[in-house]
Structure 1
Amino acid sequence: MKKKLGFYSIVLLTINSIIGTGIFLSPGSVVAQSGDKALVVYLFAAIFSTVLAVTFAAAAKYVSKGGAAYAYTKAAFGDNLGYYVGITRYVAACIAWGVMGTAVVKTVLKIFNLNNESLSNIAMGFLVLMFVLMVINLMGTKVFEIINNLSTIGKVGALVTTIIVGFVMVFIMGENNFSAIKTITDKSGQALGSNLDLTGWVMAIIAAFYAFTGFESVASGSEDMEEPEKNLPRAIPLAIGIIALIYIGIVGIAMAINPQALVESKEVVALADVFSNKIIRNMIIIGALISMFGINVAASFHTPRILESMAKQGQVPHVFAKRTSNGFPIVSFLTTIAIAVVIPLAFKFDMTNIIIISSISRFVQFVIVPIAIIMFYYGKERGQVLENVKKNTLTDLIIPLIALGLTIVLLYQFNWKGQFTMTNENGDLVANTFAIIAMVVGYVVLPFALMAWKKIKNRG
């Protein structure tokens, strides 16, 4: 029998799937939006993530097949909606992988003083990264598990060490500049976060929430895990709790040491600009590299398996289910690489635009999965679920209802106009064509084209 991931490896995979680019790249933008309320924003984002994570974990009790949101939706609502969620979720995961790949390539180019805005340099670096990830996966689950665990321990170690060093600087050496954030102003001359309305809070929470995303993909590879119906519901919430403590600690320390540098930094690894000590800066940059590489390792495991899972159930061509002798879905992997490269290239590797699309694209499953778990709880599913599941009113009904309510509020208050428009060279507000096309293709054209293919195939 081939090696499968045990409980602690699943916890580490979850941490590795979440801690990546967000905490190193997004704190400055979150603080710029919310000012001294940033820690509260991260706390709200952590609560929202935990509620969603518990919901996804509870769904894993009922459906142990790979595919996560796709498998849950198919079991709850049948083939058609399951098919749509599967395709759109796959596109979202590919975009997310594009974000993570772009970040690690740009960081490496910056460290070696190469032009990290050159499309040719980034594209070449992207291909090299994907080749390395393919080699790791080709070696089998056992080698993947070792590399995944080591990269997770490395990134967590770097962040925890930074928190400890920062704690010493702030509370023992007295370098506490937290109050200075109230003197930093935005473009209008107002103190950061002084005029936060409900929409402002929502936008800041979503910006912070990006650093917590990734938990929804962990169950995609459940077929390669030991007792997923038992281990996933315990592993995912545990990992989220650990991550929340690390995030709030690192952001709090950064705000206390040098909030202005955090907000105004133009570096790829903005967090490093907070510290003037070269050793600490280098440690953060190295930690960021390990973190970014680690989350790409995690993405290389679960993203192709979404497509593979759909192929196994006959919803996309069966060729995508083809595996090597070591259990690696090679065709799905190569297809995923192509999409993960093309979409960021279409956005000219603009991190801001890609992150926006990546964050928004996840909300389809954040609406569908809570409804699915409620249907499982009441026995209203339309597909196959596991028998003799121990139901829990809190995790299978109340928390999914809260998750659904929070998601709807965030979607309603989201600044849609601001994210799908941009300012041109003349200062005029124009449509963000790339963002609109990416959403239309990923959420309308591709799903319905594949649905048409499936109907034609079934008739044949």
Structure 2
Amino acid sequence: MNKKMKFWSIVLLTINSIIGTGIFLSPGGVTKQAGSMAPFIYICAAIFAAVLAVTFAAASKYVVKNGAAYSYARAAFGANTGMFIGVTRYVSASIAWGVMATGVVKNALSIAGMDSKNMVNVTVGFLVLMLLLFIINVKGTAFLTLISDLSTAGKMAALAITIVVGIVIIVTTGENHISDVELLTNADGSPLIPAMDATVFVTAVISAFYAFTGFESVASGASDMENPEKNLPKAIPLAIGIIAVIYFGIVLVAMMINPVALVQSEEVVVLASVFSNKIVRGIIVLGALISMFGINVAASFHSPRVCEAMAKDGILPAFLGKRNANDIPLNAFVLTAVLAIIVPMSFMYDMQGIMIISAIARFAQFIIVPLGVIVFFMGKQKEEIIDARKSVITDVVFPVISVILTVILLYKFNWKGQFSVTDETGASRINWYAIIAMIIGYVVLPVAVYVNSNSKKK
């Protein structure tokens, strides 16, 4: 059961790590910003993501250890930088896994017509899902790969069927309603869709870009993959390309059929509201459930291996780096699962306050890793790396563009929204959960790990 992932399984894992709930549950968000230009905004976002993905793929040819951004940062800039990136990445990944598990349960309850706000319902479903993920993981990499492949195939099949059915409807009816979205208005009669300018364009592209994130985690389990130094650099960009085609197709046909439903629907699975046929709607809803489950399978694979990588380097306790008979980092998995369970439960499954950690950790990776690739290209790294084939385009040009794009991303990020919340009366107040989470995740934990690590060395 410890058979390593082959090339196409890595591609499917990458797709599984990226396609989650967004394209099923909330594809109208970008449409509200970009109107009829939304399908093309996704193409621009795909190019944005592809540049970053190629940069991460370039890093993976130099460093094939588990941990992804942690291992790249450590090799390029030394143990302390690697430790900071690793700790913040691990904490954010564990939280993100808990958030995704919570999302699966709440959305599944809503789809089933059950009360998704009932804490008992959510807790029972949450624990059952985490137990199922535990069983999948302890069975070994081969079994997890099978489940990941099947869930990816399921979500892709649902999206592909939706695109095909949409094309058939458009061709047979001869109708195109894509411009209808431009006629929508607010309560005061003003246009719902803003006029397209540079600010609107950049904001819309950034919103669409988040639908492509997840590729940065794929190399976390490099040691469980076959020839990662060759397969990862090919698999990650290929997966981004496949996803770009799927997103473009889905948004385009949905907007040509019923863009008003895409923007205004209050159904849980918004994409399903575009279609009137019950069979098609059922396929989309089933695809959404499979997609939500699949991205949790991917998260349960990536996150523990960041912990394992740091344990093997002596940053975390050594027992977290040990594997069981099925070649699974069981101790690291258990710790990660505990974090993924406790944090959502502690916040009563309201994750708005702590998601800021995940967002900032991602930005940190998008700057450190590109700079690390440039360091690898120049041969100035702090630790030994693989003597890989160098390329000015992928190892210098793309990383430079990646840093520039990330700076734009940071500038346009909704900082105010992350550190403030609106109560039931509509009043805005400071989001203390987010502030506390930032202090713990970016100051307290890194300092604690640093002190512990250095005390061991002494």
TM over 0.5: yes
Q: Where does 1:27-66 land on structure 2 (aligned, <5 Å)?
A: 27-66=27-66
The CA deviation at 1:196 is 5.3
TM score, norm. by length of structure 2? 0.95
TM score, norm. by length of structure 1? 0.94
Q: Where does 1:402-421 land on structure 2 (aligned, <5 Å)?
A: 402-421=401-420
When residues 24 and 33 of structure 1 are mapped into structure 2, their CA distance, relative to the original with a 3 A threshold, is same
Q: Deviations over 1:43-102 (max 9, x none)?
A: 222111100100000001110111100000000000001000001111221232123212
The CA deviation at 1:164 is 0.4
| Maintained 8 Å contact 2:357/2:441 | no
1-side partners of 2:51 and 2:203: how far apart? 19
Q: Are residues 1:93 and 2:83 paired?
A: no
1-side partners of 2:149 and 2:230: how far apart? 21
Amino acid aligned to 2:393:
L
Corresponding position of 2:432? 433
The CA deviation at 1:323 is 1.7
Q: Where does 1:117-136 land on structure 2 (aligned, <5 Å)?
A: 117-136=117-136
When residues 37 and 426 of structure 1 are mapped into structure 2, their CA distance, relative to the original with a 3 A threshold, is same
Amino acid aligned to 1:35:
G
1-side partners of 2:175 and 2:135: how far apart? 46
1-side partners of 2:446 and 2:225: how far apart? 29
2-side partners of 1:356 and 1:119: how far apart? 23
Partner SS for 2:193:
coil
When residues 39 and 222 of structure 1 are mapped into structure 2, their CA distance, relative to the original with a 3 A threshold, is same
Could you tell me which runs of 5 or more consecutive residues in structure 1 were left unpaired when the two chains were aligned.
Answer: none
Q: Where does 1:287-298 land on structure 2 (aligned, <5 Å)?
A: 287-298=287-298
Q: Percent identity?
A: 56
2-side partners of 1:418 and 1:131: how far apart? 34
Partner SS for 1:430:
strand
When residues 334 and 198 of structure 1 are mapped into structure 2, their CA distance, relative to the original with a 3 A threshold, is farther
2-side partners of 1:351 and 1:319: how far apart? 30
When residues 99 and 35 of structure 1 are mapped into structure 2, their CA distance, relative to the original with a 3 A threshold, is farther
Corresponding position of 2:396? 397
Q: Deviations over 1:224-275 (max 9, x none)?
A: 1111001100011001100000011111111222222212223332211221
**What CA RMSD, in Å, does the superposition of the two structures yield over aligned residues?**
1.9
Corresponding position of 2:307? 307
Q: Where does 1:338-353 land on structure 2 (aligned, <5 Å)?
A: 338-350=338-350
Q: Deviations over 1:291-322 (max 9, x none)?
A: 11111111111111010111011111112112
| Maintained 8 Å contact 2:85/2:361 | no
2-side partners of 1:102 and 1:159: how far apart? 23
Indicate the larger mover: 242-251 or 351-360.
Answer: 351-360
When residues 432 and 185 of structure 1 are mapped into structure 2, their CA distance, relative to the original with a 3 A threshold, is farther
2-side partners of 1:353 and 1:173: how far apart? 47
| Maintained 8 Å contact 2:305/2:332 | yes
Partner SS for 1:179:
helix
Partner SS for 1:116:
coil
Corresponding position of 1:163? 163
| Maintained 8 Å contact 2:33/2:204 | yes
Partner SS for 1:362:
helix
Corresponding position of 1:247? 247
1-side partners of 2:170 and 2:200: how far apart? 30
Could you tell me which runs of 5 or more consecutive residues in structure 2 were left unpaired when the two chains were aligned.
Answer: none
Q: Are residues 1:383 and 2:390 paired?
A: no
Q: Are residues 1:206 and 2:206 paired?
A: yes
Corresponding position of 1:271? 271
| Maintained 8 Å contact 1:210/1:359 | no
| Maintained 8 Å contact 2:354/2:437 | no
Aligned residues: 458
| Maintained 8 Å contact 1:19/1:211 | yes
When residues 148 and 391 of structure 1 are mapped into structure 2, their CA distance, relative to the original with a 3 A threshold, is same
Amino acid aligned to 2:405:
L
Amino acid aligned to 1:405:
I
1-side partners of 2:354 and 2:291: how far apart? 19
Partner SS for 1:422:
strand
Corresponding position of 2:11? 11
2-side partners of 1:159 and 1:297: how far apart? 19
Indicate the larger mover: 274-283 or 239-248.
Answer: 274-283
Corresponding position of 2:224? 224
1-side partners of 2:350 and 2:207: how far apart? 16
| Maintained 8 Å contact 1:271/1:284 | yes
| Maintained 8 Å contact 1:109/1:115 | yes
